[in-house]
Amino acid sequence: MKIDNPVYDSSQIVSGRFPLARMLDMVAGSTFIGQGVGVSPIQSDLVTRVDLVIDARILPIIKTAVQTVNNSIVLVNDNHLLLAVAANDIWVIELFLLVTSPTATPDVAWAFTVPAGGSIYGVWFFNQDGVQASSYTDLTAQRTIAGVDNTTKYMQTRALYFGAGTAGNVQLQWAQAVATAEDTQVLENSFMLCHKLD
């Protein structure tokens, strides 16, 4: 039986020779679960099949444009890399930062700010002369990515945020570590991958 309609209904399936093991039925909010050769798939409600639903607690935050700091050591908010949190939230946050500058003079300073009473601790590493890594540390204290030059460097952080009674933003801030008259940049496609813990 040839089916031309791209939206499938279980009444249209007459054998296990269904083209896909799982085909979303966008009308019914269901999925078809393959049962093997010669056996018709079973239609299943997505609400009861939680393994087929994207986990809404996982939130990607992607930097969509380059941001530049020139001749300044004052930490500024990153325009994109921030996470809105509710009171008493707990989040695992992975930060992947792409940075560059014309010379190695300014380096990059960075830190997180968090809502009142909250805390954020984690480890971080970057690819300057091999992998440089930190121990588990307070990420609201200013850190430096050293050796940033005219090639793209990356810094990766794995952090754990514990909220208190105040909602707000977990906000990445950054600047030059040494004020230098050149464009130091955090690049497009840097990202935070955030996972809320219940």
| Token code pair at residue 58 | 């996982």
- Say which amino acid occupies 23: M
The pLDDT of residue 48 is: 47
Question: Which architecture, in CATH terms, is 58-197?
Answer: Sandwich (2.60)
What pLDDT, on a 0 to 100 scale, did the predictor assign at position 1? 45
Residue 145 confidence (pLDDT): 85
Number of other residues whose CB lies within 10 A of the CB of residue 71: 13
What's the one-letter identity of residue 175? A
Instruction: Please write down the HEC assignment for all residues of the chain.
Output: CCCCCCCCCHHHCCCCCCCCCCCEECCCCEEEECCCCCCCCEEEECCCCHHHCCCCCEEEEECCCCEEEECCCCCEEEEEEEEEECCCCEEEEEEEEEEECCCCCCCEEEEEECCCCCEEEEEEEEECCCEEECCCEECCCCEEECCCCCCCEEEEEEEEEECCCCCEEEEEEEEECCCCCCEEEECCCCEEEEEEEC
What does the alpha-carbon distance between residue 161 and residue 85 come to, in Å, rounded to a whole number?
A: 10
The torsion angles phi and psi of 179, rounded to 5 degrees, stand at -60, 120
Residue 66: both structure tokens together:
């380059």
Cα separation, 195 vs 198, whole angstroms: 10
Residue 180: alpha-carbon gap to chain centroid: 30
Amino acid at 146: A
pLDDT < 70 stretches in the chain: 1-56, 127-134
Give domain limits for the chain. 10-52, 58-197
pLDDT value for 150: 82
